[in-house]
Amino acid sequence: MYPLRRNRRLRTNESIRSLVRETIITPNDFLVPLFVVEGKNIKEEIASMPNYYRLSLDHLTKEVKELWNLGLKSVLLFVKVDDKLKDNSGTEALNPNGLMQRAIKTVKDACPDMIVMTDVALDPFSIYGHDGIIHNGQILNDETTSVLAEMSLSHAKAGADFVAPSDMMDGRIFEIRTLLEDEGFHNTSIMSYSAKYASAFYGPFRDALDSAPVDAQNIPKDKKTYQMDFANRHEAIKETLMDIEEGADIVMVKPGLCYLDIVRDIVDTVNVPVAVYQVSGEYAMLKAAAEKGWLDHDAVMMEQLTAIKRAGASIIASYFAKDVSKLMNH
């Protein structure tokens, strides 16, 4: 009791605070999302995500080498597909010489030890901007999971270390794991977006990939029939446990800051690594506030990321990964 116990003794100066600090951020915590486009010599800033870019394959090579030199050892690939290649069944997603497949090979050629994770979902390839095949205004679950499994196999053949299904279709982890096993890809891992919420924070990401749901008759206007209701908590545990039973090696909660209670619930329940995706809207808000001079960019960035790790995240997918690593290297 006071005065025998004075808690402020352990806060006296930065040396003491750092000595007893419970949560430490390092480059090993991060998964770096990267957006890839066709063409050459393209490094195109995303308007709603300042200082973040769509990269052609030549710039992708340069980027992964820089990331590796900063101590960042894993990337998560997304591709922006030309409209003429989009349809309602994800045909281009299965093209062995498609942009995703070439991007995987590009990263591995540039930096063989870089861990490559790939987005597995139909929305970048869909004329409707949805994560599933649509028929009579409905998102078809089982038909979609079959395509997602074939898509995952295509990524594995191209050299992906992990496939990362982000669609929230029921049973897709089992379909993917079964096909990978049948085809001999026993060591290709799955990071499942297990608790992915129907969030309003995804807007800038959809700008980056031109993958927002289209506004058309008989087409669902949003993704609420498959992404989770943000009011639900126990459902996240159920979804996550099912994905682990079906073969997921890592599970993910998405978005980040508004869902740290879910992260803690899941970390306390499961025995696999838990990833958190700090999404584009979270990134854009801080960038905008910092540009206005309303917030200290680096201080708030570190506070947010520390909060995510403090909640229990083993892995943080974040657009700030490069900023943080540069800050640590100075």
Q: Which residues are catalytic?
A: 196, 254
Which ranges in the chain belong to alpha helices (H)? Answer: 14-19, 57-69, 99-110, 141-158, 172-182, 203-209, 234-246, 260-267, 280-291, 297-310, 321-328
DSSP characters for 28-70? GGEEEEEEE-SSSS-EEEETTEEEEEEE-HHHHHHHHHHHHHT
Alpha-carbon span 99 to 157, nearest angstrom: 14
Q: Is 279 within 8 Å of 292 (Cβ atoms)?
A: no
Of 178, 131, 127, 126, the residue nearest 153 (C-alpha): 178
* 184: Cβ contacts below 8 Å, ≥ 6 apart: none
Residue 297 has what DSSP assignment? H
Of 295, 318, 314, 294, the residue nearest 305 (C-alpha): 318
Of 271, 277, 221, 279, the residue nearest 250 (C-alpha): 271
